[in-house]
Amino acid sequence: MNRRILTIAIPNIISNITIPLLGIVDLALVGHLESSVYIGAIAIGSMIFNFIYWGFSFLRMGTSGFAAQAYGKKDFPESFYQLYRALFVGLLGSILLLLLQKPIDLLSFLIINGSEEVEFSARQYFYIRIWAAPATIAIYSISGWYIGMQNAKIPMIIAITINVLNIAFNIIFVKVFGMRSDGVALGTLCAQYSGLFIGIIFLSQHKNRLKKYLISKDILHLGSLKRFMNVNKDIFIRTMSLVFALSFFTAKSAKFGDTLLAVNTLLLQFFTIYAYIVDGFAYAGEALAGKYYGAKDKVNLIKVTKLLFGWGILMAAIFTLGYVLGDNLLLDILTNNTEIIRNIQPYLFWVYLIPVITFGAFIWDGIFIGVTASSSMRNSMLISAFIIFVPSYFVLHHFYQNHGLWAAFMLFMIARLVALSLYAKRSIYDKIN
């Protein structure tokens, strides 16, 4: 079983490593420019796209869960129907985003209270990157389908290609052509369409089955489509609540001024790096838990859950030690701004807490996605974000300022772990006879 976990987890870890690496390169590029404004612009621009794209990440998560269950049942036609449903919904969504880009801009900057200089650069970033929407959303569907079909290598190749190209494009646009945050956005745009092209090439290997099932009326089977939309609706609400929490964190950071906004943006890179690595095991949970749930194999479902948490504990220990020993090394890579480095020192101990506090929520997420226990995921996230995180912030920040914001964020992650653990028996294991 450990071999099966690692067969799926390792390719996803390798591909996921490139995502925070891209963020590190982006911040390093603008972090060595003449002003901290550009770090803030990247933070706010990325926050807006977290709302936009993470809102559509239900297409990856829902598709992987449904495809994994179809794989466990050996119902291969249904797995292809799930791919088509996801691509169709994604196409409609991306068209809507392009049509509504101006209202999205106005609403976003009405909510965010950044400085005039930061908002100007963030708007440049936004109006370039928004045109990557069709490619980004389609890649979610393709990657989710391959993970559900127990194939982690192709999503790995797609992700690595996108992020390596993104890094290359960003260096060219910023270092060679002298662009700023707009160059980072343009690099992302070019890389996303390159990744979609590669994804289409891989899908073409299944062209006979793709053609065969495309004409089937079962793609729009009312019962299957209703279940697809209900589960994805719950995942959408869950994901948007998560994005709200992260965006709330960034928005409140901006209220502390450009320097602390830059400080918190850099510190969140430690959270992002760890999250993407541990997500490799969460993806293994999606594929294997979905497979055993679809096959109604309760014994192996429980076994894979225990093993995944074992791997999560090991990763937490490794990263805690790595962060304690190497925190300033990473910071030196990200920025040479002495004011930011000086202001960041009092907050580094929050970084040391991230691995131990957060790993359980990530592992549970993968398992819940695999078995499509979406309503429990939704409820646990709503409780954690709106009953725990937001009220905690408004109490704690009065006494501890930026430390209060970080404490509230940690309570949010603990609440996710506790809530999902309480839901697990009823929502997953009791449903298999």
What pLDDT is attached to residue 337?
72
415 pLDDT more than 60: yes
Q: What is the pLDDT of residues 9-28, one digit of tens each?
A: 888 787 777 665 665 666 66
Under a CB-based contact definition with an 8 Å cutoff, are residues 238 and 381 in contact? yes
Per-residue pLDDT averaged across 153-168, rounded? Answer: 88
Question: Given CA atoms 346, 327, 242, 248 in this order, what sign does their dihedral have?
Answer: positive
4 pLDDT more than 90: no
Q: How many CB atoms lie within 10 A of CB 308?
A: 25
What pLDDT is attached to residue 20?
56
What pLDDT is attached to residue 196?
94
**If DSSP codes are grouped into helix, strand and coil, which group holds residue 213?**
helix
pLDDT cut 90: percent of the chain above it? 27
Q: What is the pLDDT of residues 210-220, one digit of tens each?
A: 777 776 666 66
What pLDDT is attached to residue 394?
93
Per-residue pLDDT averaged across 173-200, rounded? Answer: 87
292 pLDDT more than 60: yes
Q: For residues 333 and 189, which has the higher predicted lDDT (pLDDT)?
A: 189
Give first-to-last CA distance, the chain, whole Å. Answer: 22
**For residues 317 and 330, what is the distance between their CA atoms, to the nearest angstrom?**
18
Rounded to 5°, the CA angle 264-158-164 comes to 55
Closest CA to 30 of 47, 43, 49, 48: 43
Structural domain count, the chain: 1
Per-residue pLDDT averaged across 406-417, rounded? Answer: 96
* Residue whose pair of structure tokens reads 């745009």 in the numeric block: 189
* pLDDT grade for 356, boundaries at 50, 70 and 90: very high
For residue 185, give Cα distances in angstroms to 45, 77, 170.
9, 38, 8
194 pLDDT more than 90: yes
Per-residue pLDDT averaged across 66-75, rounded? Answer: 82
Query: What's the whole-number average pLDDT of the chain?
Result: 84
Q: For residues 53 and 426, which has the higher predicted lDDT (pLDDT)?
A: 426
* pLDDT grade for 236, boundaries at 50, 70 and 90: confident
**Full residue range of the structural domain in which residue 41 is found:** 2-431
2 pLDDT more than 90: no
**For residues 407 and 389, what is the distance between their CA atoms, to the nearest angstrom?**
9
105 pLDDT more than 90: no
| Cβ neighbours for 204, distance < 8 A, ≥ 6 positions apart | none
| Cβ neighbours for 178, distance < 8 A, ≥ 6 positions apart | none
What pLDDT is attached to residue 30?
66
Per-residue pLDDT averaged across 31-46, rounded? Answer: 67
What pLDDT is attached to residue 26?
65
| Cβ neighbours for 394, distance < 8 A, ≥ 6 positions apart | none
**For residues 235 and 248, what is the distance between their CA atoms, to the nearest angstrom?**
19
What are the start-end ranges of the H helices in 296-389?
298-334, 338-344, 348-370, 374-382
What pLDDT is attached to residue 410?
96
Rounded to 5°, the CA angle 246-247-253 comes to 95
Question: Residues of 12-32 as b/e, b for ≥16 C-beta within 10 angstroms?
Answer: bbbbbbbbbbbbbbbbbbbbe
76 pLDDT more than 70: yes
What pLDDT is attached to residue 391?
95
* pLDDT grade for 167, boundaries at 50, 70 and 90: confident
What pLDDT is attached to residue 357?
95
34 pLDDT more than 60: no
What pLDDT is attached to residue 14?
78
